[in-house]
Structure 1
Amino acid sequence: MLAYLARRLAAAAVVVVLVSIIAFGIVSVLPGDTAAALLGEEGARDATRYEALRVELGLDQPIPVRYANWVAGVVTGDLGQSMRTGEDIGPGILARALPTVQLAIMAIIISVVIAIPVGVISAVYYRRLPDNVGTLFALTAIATPGFWFGIMLILLFSVTLRWLPPSGYLPFFSNPIGSLQLMIMPALALATGFTGVLIRQVRSSVLEVLNEDYITTARSKGLSPTTVLFGHALRNALLPVVTLIGLQIGGLFGGAATVETVFSIPGLGRLAVDSIFFRDFTMIQALMLVLALTVLVASLLTDLVYSRIDPRIRRG
């Protein structure tokens, strides 16, 4: 296990270095000028103010120097300061991370609760009515944009029925009920596409396992269909599902950008949108790095869980 973990950590370190180079490179070649965006159209015409602000922001330095300075700060835990607000990026990201993490966790829970029963039923009733309904539901969920579904939820549950508040955020530990009321619609909207993908994966995995020889042997022994399904098939069928959940973490954080904007949630997604709009390059770089680290950690934890379930992975 330790050797396997060491290999995974070494690979993750290489990925982090590559992501840092890509993040800094992409941001550096983006069109637009942060100094001009901060000064506005009138202020940018003042050459003295414009050049002074570029020097203050470090934009006058060569790209390799700016990258080296940025990496040196990141290694020591200093992600820099926002070009737009001047606040320290680390505490700012941490404060915005809590709403996004809550949103992602709720979306994953909703997806798993819906996808596993629907996927299993579709596989058991292969090519029959329940399978057709489940497949239609999955494809519809995949094709439905999360932001559009979120707007429809607001119109139904907030405007028409007046059951839920339309937008906003409350910390979970300060007001659990109010927080859940505010987050249930965004979580449903964020979970839409992931739920459809997960249903298809569960269905495919269960169908594959049900055709294995050991399942045929279990049936020949006279075991009930329920025992065969839940006692023998489902555990092995869910192995690829665990991997899929880990790989979809990045997609959930990406989808959170539009969902958080629709529901006015002060999370990382909305912070990324605002940073791109105002050309806050230091914040964009830090967010890309944090997202990459989040995906790597999720992937590593998924692999460790997978290796515990299937020891053959550790020997690979």
Structure 2
Amino acid sequence: MLFLLFLLPISGLVTEAFFESHCQDGQSKSCTNGCQRGLERYFNGVANRVLPGHGYRNLTVASPVLCGRECLIDDRCFSFHYSEGKMRCELNGATASRYPMDLTEMDGIFYYGPEEPKLVQLLASGDNTGFPSLTDCWYHTHASAATECSKTGQQLCLHAQLDHASGEKYPATPLSWYADTDSLAVLTETGVTYHDLPLTAPSPGLCCSLPYVYRDPVRTASLYAVADRAGQASGCSDQGAHPCTLAELKEAYDNGYRSSTWLYFATPNRDASVADGGCGSRTGDECYQDTIANTPRPAAQSWVYCCYA
């Protein structure tokens, strides 16, 4: 299918002025009703494509530039449609990179979004198999990004999923949250790089829905009291996971995962370690299949081992 790609230039200074002015109206609140995002210098357009189901406001304006201006000064707007024949402008509360499978064909209408031109072109080709989606909002914490992914039935991408996307020539992303909690990823057409966490800057999340067979456990971002079972489960749920069972920790051990830290898991009032050497001197209930040591004497506060179904 043939399509045309357009760049709608809006100077960086003008874009920044619109955003900063609107943010100041909310005083201490961040842009977009608490949804932080990166400033964009251009809207990248593609002909005969729409993102249905995400529009919230229609108006009549003389050009896509004016439509883009309306999007810039509306804190709900992330992309827009424009029909030159009808001079119809529709503001969208989402982007094609967040909902790549929703981008569909419709004659005479242009989709304009903040995506890199190569990504708009890739999405418009209709071959979206295995593509990550990039959250529209930027987050300060891994848990917040994971929660946003879960809203669309996805999870933060695994290493293997990012490698797959790179192999499919997915264009470069900013520093983004992914499955691991202790680093950020940059996805490029030639590979994936991983970076230390920034001190203050928010990042978008890379969400994936590709099936997987196994994934290493992760620990919760926060400590929980031994009796706070709801908090422990919620901490794992924020990452699209659940507290690990002993059987899942044994599976992780068999797949090469090791952690000598004693953390809570699915069984109440106990903690476990997935270390080399197995159970050591522990026997009976304090050893699971000669591999996973666990004890009824947990610390008052600890993180939780989280596993994925």
TM-score, normalising length: structure 2: 0.23
TM-score, normalising length: structure 1: 0.22
Q: Higher RCO, 1 or 2 (CA under 8 Å, sep at least 6)?
A: 1
| Structure with more of its chain in strand, by fraction | 2
| Structure with more of its chain in helix, by fraction | 1
